[in-house]
Chain A
Amino acid sequence: MAYKLGVDYLRLWKPYVFPSPITVFKTMLDLIADSTLGIAVLASAKRIVIGYAISILIGAIVGFAIVRFKTLDENLSPLILGLQTLPSICWLPFAILWYGLNESAIIFVIAIGSAFAVSIAIESGIKNVNPLYLRAAKTMGAGGLKVYWNVIIPASLPTVVSGLKQGWSFAWRALMAGEMLFATKGLGQVLMVGRDLADISQVVAVMIVIVVLGVTVDKLIFGRIEVNIRRRWGLDRA
């Protein structure tokens, strides 16, 4: 509708700037048919899974360390907060110098892009655990790792999951930025090819794929976990 109005009747935009939904659909079918899209999605998925896994690992270690050691907390927390505001793409020159123009550089950017969000979420999740739960656990004889495993982790899960979700979106952005700059395959690269060939319908097609993938992952993984937590804690009744 908006397309019809804008392009065909009012002639606000030129067709090569704003593709019609039909051309986008056709392009998408073409991309699927010659398996460009399939390969790109797989390549991107592989990178983000590895990068995200690394970021969770780093985030968890940093997060737990901050909670455990007060000196680390005082010295590292402002730094981490600052680093989190730094867009992950700013790490790219650094990554290229370290790893060269290859997979590792992209994965590094993904990992560093979301690790801080994850560690901040874990830190605040643990710090905000109701002290009453800890007292109760203590009087029931829980100590050391048992408290972490049975009380602190489940009690901080609601905060941690929203942090993981945020980390996921950061990772996804970092991936696209990295791929658009120098990848040889992947969604970002397909998008960039579209730009280079002035094929605006390919650009839009890839954008749609990115959005759909993002929403799907959100709904299937994080959405389910969140719904489950809300149901248990009784947060969805308000």
Chain B
Amino acid sequence: MLSLLIEKVSKSFNSKQNSVQTLDNINLEFNKGEFICVLGPSGCGKSTLLNIIAGLEDATEGRVILNGHEVKGAGPDRVVMFQESALFPWLKVIDNVEFGMKMAGVPKDERHEKALKYLKMVHLSRFQNSYIHELSGGMKQRVALARALTLDSEILLMDEPFAALDSQTKGILQAELQQIWLETQKTIIFITHSVEEAVLLADRVIVMAANPGKVKKEFKIQLARPREPENVDLAYLAAGIMKELKEEVEKVAKAEFDNDWTVKKDSLLSDTDSNMGIGL
């Protein structure tokens, strides 16, 4: 069942000197309950794409259609989880989780109960009366996830939510996100620059090309869940995606650095088992 449609979306930023095309004619379809990872080198416009879906930025051309209606502006039907947790430091954990429901005018008792339910889901009910600065990075993201879940949105947008965490914490949260996704059946659009993360979580990985941002290739990941990061099939799929991504990373690096910067072939993000001893 189709839920979200991105139709011919382009975005360019114009300044006095030049105009930069960030996104060029993006066409994507997301099915209901699908877990999609958008993968790309930094600067390929993947966060811009997410912001356009969220309604935080406007597309220069094209439109985003959610359940048959064009998206205009931000709204609680497309909750975003940011890389920095974006929790409010002046509120206690429980009040942070209740915030979205408070904005929607949910009665106090009801929203308290629901907030506790989701805090339990992320295993932080013990910290409901703490302030945000008392939490670790991983705990903050858990609270942010609970806050996003309380709004019962069909779509959850995640903008590199685990990028700033240490790898152990990241691993735990990835496992839990899979679990929560299986339980809640939400459509999740997950932005990341980590291939391993993408193949671990996604049903479908969308690799983006940079300058201008385009959809380069799509990969279906048809593996049983819950997936373990150690899975050999994952590594195999990751290697294939890595090859696509490598080209783009080199392209971005070339555009950013001085002209005299060159890269040795396959030295960037190389996967040693697939080059068949080419460097010998």
Contact = CB atoms under 8 A, between A and B. Distances in A.
A146 interface: yes
Contact of A140 (B55, B99, B131, B157): B99
A233 B74 contact: no
B240 interface: no
B251 interface: no
Contact of B80 (A139, A146, A157, A232): A139
A141 interface: yes
Contacts of B123: none
A139 B79 contact: yes
Interface residues of B, number: 29
A136 interface: yes
A21 to B, nearest CB: 45
Contacts of B147: 140
A237 B133 contact: yes
A160 to B, nearest CB: 12
Contact of A139 (B54, B133, B134): B54
A136 B133 contact: no
Given A142-B103, A234-B131, A234-B132, A135 B90 contact: no
B82 interface: yes
Contacts of A141: 74-76, 100, 103-104, 151
Contact of A157 (B90, B100, B132): B90
A151 interface: yes
A127 interface: no
Contacts of B134: 234
Interface in A102-160: 132-133, 135-142, 146, 150-151, 154-155, 157
Interface string B197-237: 00000000000000000000000000000000000000000
Contacts of A135: 56, 74, 80, 82, 86
Nearest to A157: B90
Report the interface size class on chain A: 20 to 34
B254 interface: no
A146 B76 contact: no
Nearest to A142: B103
A234 B89 contact: yes
Interface string A146-189: 10001100110100000000000000000000000000000000
A232 B88 CA distance: 10
B78 interface: yes
A81 B84 CA distance: 35
Interface of B: 54-56, 73-76, 78-80, 82, 84, 86, 88-91, 99-100, 102-104, 131-134, 147, 151, 157
Interface of A: 132-133, 135-142, 146, 150-151, 154-155, 157, 229, 231-234, 237
7 contacts: A135-B86, A139-B56, A139-B157, A140-B79, A141-B100, A233-B89, A233-B90
